[in-house]
């Protein structure tokens, strides 16, 4: 197996803080230190979607894609403000839990 590293066409000055990928989803989800969620195509060259401000800096993210007949399409995010937040695929906040 060969690892092929390329530079993305999408130039960002901010740093990515977390990313998530599951084999059942064709996308890569990355959070940024500016509080946004970016969704990239599998090859990483194209930013498919960027969600609005998530109102926190995310230190870790886990993506829960739709599985079979169960529609989830949400992600859980651990934020540096000590909260755990659950977001819908479009970036809308579903639930916030204080630690």
Q: Where are the domains of the chain?
A: 16-98
Q: What is the mean pLDDT of the chain?
A: 77
Q: What is the pTM of this model?
A: 0.67
**Rounded distance between C-alpha atoms, residue 74 and residue 51, angstroms:** 13
Q: What is the pLDDT of residues 33-43, one digit of tens each?
A: 777 778 888 77
Q: For residue 84, what pLDDT is reported?
A: 92
**Rounded distance between C-alpha atoms, residue 50 and residue 46, angstroms:** 11
Mean pLDDT of 64-69: 72
CATH number of the domain located at residue range(s) 16-98 in this protein: 2.40.10.480
Q: For residue 11, what pLDDT is reported?
A: 57
**Rounded distance between C-alpha atoms, residue 9 and residue 20, angstroms:** 20
As given in the structure block, the two tokens for residue 62 are 């886990």
């Amino acid at each position: 197996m060969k690892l092929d590293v390329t530079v993305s066409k999408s130039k960002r000055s901010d740093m990515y803080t977390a990313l998530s990928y599951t084999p059942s989803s064709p996308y890569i989800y990355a959070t940024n230190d500016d509080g946004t969620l970016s969704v990239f195509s599998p090859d990483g060259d194209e930013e498919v979607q960027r969600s609005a401000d998530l109102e926190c800096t995310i230190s870790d993210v886990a993506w829960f894609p739709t599985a079979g007949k169960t529609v989830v399409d949400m992600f859980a995010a651990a934020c540096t403000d000590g909260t755990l937040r659950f977001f819908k695929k479009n970036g809308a906040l579903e639930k916030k839990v204080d630690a």
